Structure formats: C-alpha cells, structure tokens
Amino acid sequence: MASFRFENRSGAELLAPDRTRFSFWAPACETVLLEVEGLPPVTMEQQDDGFFTAEATCGAGTRYRYRIREGFSVPDPASRYQPEGVHGPSEIIDPEFYQWKQPDWKGRPWEDTVVYEVHLGLEGGFEGMVERLGELVDLGITAIEIMPVNTFGGNWNWGYDGVLIYAPTTPYGRPSLLKAFIDHAHSLGLMVFLDVVYNHFGPDGNYLPEYAEAMFDPDSRTVWGEGIDFKNPIVADFFLDNALYWLMEYRFDGLRIDAAWAITDRNWFAKLLQRIDHHKEPGRHIHLILENENNDSGLLADGYDGQWDEDWHHAVTVLLSGETNGYFAAFQHNTIGLLRRVLAEGFAWQGEYFAPAEKMRGSPSGALPPTKFVTFLQNHDQIGNRPDGARMITFTDPDCFHAAFALLLLSPMTPMLFMGEEWGSTTPFYFFCNFHGELAQTVREGREEQFRKYSNITDPAALAALPDPNDPKTYAASRPDRAERDTPRGRKWLGRTKELLSIRHDRITPHLKGAKSAGAEVLSERAVLAQWTLANGTLLSVAINFGDETLPIAEPTSILYETVPDRVTGTLPPRSFMAGLDRPI
C-alpha cells in the first residue's frame, strides 16, 4: 500500500492535516481574497508574476473560493474537486488519502496496446466501469481510453467542454473512486489512458477571462473560440503540470491529447516529453497519443507513441459506405491508392495539398514503425458527429465490415475499438451535453449548421428532427444496449473479436517491436495487399477486397485468419479479408 502526490504550483496544497497553502494566478487583479468556509476572508499576497498566495488553517474536505472583486467569487482553476459543479466552491483534497493496492505497476510496452475507448458516464461512472473491466481483459483488450473526466457544466457531456481540468467531474464520482478504478484496472493488467483537452475551455463555468485574460492568445482562434497562449511560460506550465498530475498522482498510463494541432507552440510538446522523463519512475511505461490533423510525423519520431490515424479511417469508410460528404470528399478519388499508402507508410497526406483544410498537410511518415498509427473503424467523433449517430455496422455491407474489422485487428498498426463495438452494437452514439437557456440554443444551432455544411442536410424539417443534444433522452439513448450482447448475433461478434485478438496477441504482438513495412500494392480498384516484416523476420501479409470480383493472390505459408472459410487457395473472394505469415528465408 502506498500513496502518490504531485505538487502543483497552482491550487490548494495540504502542508499539514490542518494547514493548506493556496496559490491563484490572477494577473488581471489587484486584490484577491481567499474565502474559506467557516473562516473570515484572507487577503492574499500578490507576487510579481501575477500569482496570489495565502495559507489558512483548514484541511481536506474544506470548501473555498477566490473573491476577485466585491460580490464576485470564483472556483479555483486548479481545483482538485468541485462537489457542487463548475459554479460552486472548490474542495481541498488530500491526494494521499487513497492507498494504492498496485503501487509497483509499471504499465505495459506500447506494442501490447489494444485500445478500448469508453464514455464513463454511460457506464455508470468510475464505480460502474470497474464492473466491466474483467470482461474486457477476457476479450483481449489491454488499454482503456476514457473520454475526458475534467469538470464540465451540467450532469452529462462528452467531456470536451471542461473548464476545471484538474477536477474529476462530480457525476462520475469522487477522486478516490477514480483512483480505485485505475488501481483495479492495473490489478488486471490493463493500462488506462486519459483523454485531455488543452486547446480550449468550455462555455459554461469558464471564469478565466474575468481574472486571467493572459491565458488566451487573441491572435489564435480555434473552432471553439479564442486559443490558449502556450508561449506564456506560466500558461504552458499550467497544462504541463496538469499532464504530470494525472500521470503521477492518478497513475494514468498515458494521455490522448485532443486536437493537438490547436496547441500553437510546438515546443510545448518537447517540454512535455522532457518533464515526463524527469518525473516518471525507472522502468515505468507512459504513453502519449495525439489527435493531430497536421499529420506531424516529427512528433511521433521525437517520442510520441501514437496518433489517431484519420486517414486510415476515412479511406476505409469511403470504401465501405461510398460517402463523399464533408472531409470524406478528399478520399473519393483513388481511394484504394490512398489506403495502400496508409497501410505502407502510415499517412495518406505527407505534405500534399489537402482541400478540406485548404492547406498543405502532413510530413513524410514511411520511416515510422506501424505501431505509431492508431487505427479505428469507429470512435466518439466518427459516430457522434453523424446526424443520426449511426454506427458503421448499421449501414455497410456485413461481409465488408467483417473484412475491415479483421484488417483493423490483425494489421501491425495499433487498433482501437469503441464501446460496444466488440459485440457489434447497433446503439447510436449522439453528441450530448447538459446546457440550458441561450447556451443550449446556441449548441443546437451550431449542430444544425455543422450538418448543413458537412452532411448536406438543408431541409428545415429534417434539421428540426435531429436529436437535441441537451435532451436527457439523447444522452440515455447513447448508452450501448447490453441486451444485444447476449443475442446470438452479439455472441457471434464477441467470439469473432476474441478470436482475432487472440491471434494478434499470440502471433503478431510478440514481434511488433522493430516491425517495418514491406510495402503494399493495389490489387484492383477496391482491393489491396499489404505486408510487414516482423521483428523475428516473419512476413505478415494482409489482403482485403471490398469489391465483387475474385482476385488472384500469392498464398501465404500459414493462414492466420480468413473471413471466407471455404476460400480457394490463391484467391481473394469478393468482400473478404485474409491474413497470413511466411517464414523468413
């Protein structure tokens, strides 16, 4: 049993059981009062760099605010817990209260990773998800990636509208329950990754402009509003410390950095690697995953473990569904050629002009290991940003989807599943939030505009019929129906998923470190063959045919998996997949 603590410069830090130090960055203020429940207000001492500090006789469980002007008090931007939500007081937390049962857990190598993305709110919060972990381990999952748990406005949200990024959101449970969830996952051999949002703050409960306008960069606009000024060292440290806080105090095994392209100072990414390397324990595995429209191969070469590979997803989606709206338009021409490049080199765009963004996109990625690319058929964005929240399995050819699913799990790239995908869930996953009044209306109108632009929905009646993100029914309807899991179809999909992951862990994973591409070739307008040399010299081949014609292929020495059991040797049937190994010569 042991406890862990990461001491932040900002926020409330216990000095003793009944003594706490408070530090609050408010460069726009001349005076700040610390308001602690049960105590008279304390005038905080102003520092030269915009911080205000004070100490008070109080301990864990005490609630407090900062009064920045007469009649106006705000929560702590580095609050460790907000028991009454984003507009309420902050609570002092003793980080050493929780005693870890698995303090010596070191994590797992990146090559072991099979990611499972999940929204904890839909699974019953921190305690509810604990009950799911055993079945995921049995399936072959090695890492849980949880959507953001930072405190957001309302009782439900995707999590990307967070405003207090150090505080686990109250609807999911207290901080100790989050630690217990992670601790239990570690006891089962599971890594836990946290999705963090460092590119913007949400619209409800964001008080920073009232006292720290210097947090923002007026010259940097994002789709969510004013960007963050990462060139300000205090601002940069606020987010660096947050990353370390989750990794060192909560023992997360890694972070997925949302919309990394909107973090304007590229040097910040190098600083994060350096800080983690300085603080982490010897032998501990910590993994960093990027969501990055820029396809910045340099960050992956410098030490970031992986990037969500949207090029892989978009090429496969166009082949499966024929969609050409929105960002799929860039993939409608030479789709199989783009998939060939992705399988061989990681990214489809490596410095070429990318029309949807109206700019050059990407950098050469062919020298990177295949494990650097996190691939997926479905995730929260790709389902939830559809007008009807439909999962891909509900609108594509079943045989082709099975083939694509096998490609996902048996290529040496790092695969990710979305909650319920393992049993072929057909439950929609909508965008949802819990805003009110004018803000709720703004969100509704914003979604309608998005669907007009990217989905070509212009009929007012059709737009009006879309699920309201703020309706409790929209949130409830997004919870995967576990009754599907126990149907014959659900059991068939579970068996299929388990079989594929068993093959991956037994025959591919042990030889992934040092694996490299051996090239890929187009077999037809709707079929491709890709090969990789694994670390033991074995040649892994995968072939997928989205078309209607049988194609000739070279037969591997040993077949790992095929979606058509009675396949004729040396052929690739319509709407099928095959994977095999050839021994080194």
Catalytic residues, by residue number, are 258, 291
Distance CA 335, CA 317 (A): 10
- Between strands 51-56 and 115-118, the pairing is unpaired
Region for 485 from its dihedrals, namely left if φ exceeds 0, alpha if ψ lies in -120 to 50, beta otherwise: alpha
Compute and round to an integer the Cα radius of gyration of the chain. Answer: 25
**Burial of 155 from C-beta contacts in 10 A (0-12 / 13-18 / 19+):** middle
Distance CA 254, CA 248 (A): 10
Distance CA 250, CA 192 (A): 10
Give buried/exposed letters for 236-272 (b at 16+ CB in 10 A, else e).
bbbbbbbbbbbbbbbbbbbbbbbbbbbbbbeebbebb
Distance CA 525, CA 337 (A): 8
Q: Where are the alpha helices (DSSP H) in 245-397?
A: 267-279, 297-302, 310-321, 335-345, 380-384
Cβ neighbors of 63 (< 8 A, separation 6 or more) are 36, 37, 83, 88, 89, 90, 91, 92
Distance CA 452, CA 460 (A): 10
CA angle 173, 174, 180 (to 5 degrees): 90
Determine contact, residues 375/289, Cβ cutoff 8 Å. Answer: no
In a 13 Å sphere around the CA of 187, the CA atoms on its Cβ side amount to: 13
**Burial of 6 from C-beta contacts in 10 A (0-12 / 13-18 / 19+):** middle
Cβ neighbors of 109 (< 8 A, separation 6 or more) are 285, 513
Candidates 93, 28, 34; CA nearest to 65 is 34
Token pair for 583? 């021994």
Distance CA 147, CA 380 (A): 9
* Helix, strand and coil in the chain, % to nearest 5: 35, 25, 40
Fill in the amino acid letter for 347. F
Distance CA 264, CA 11 (A): 25
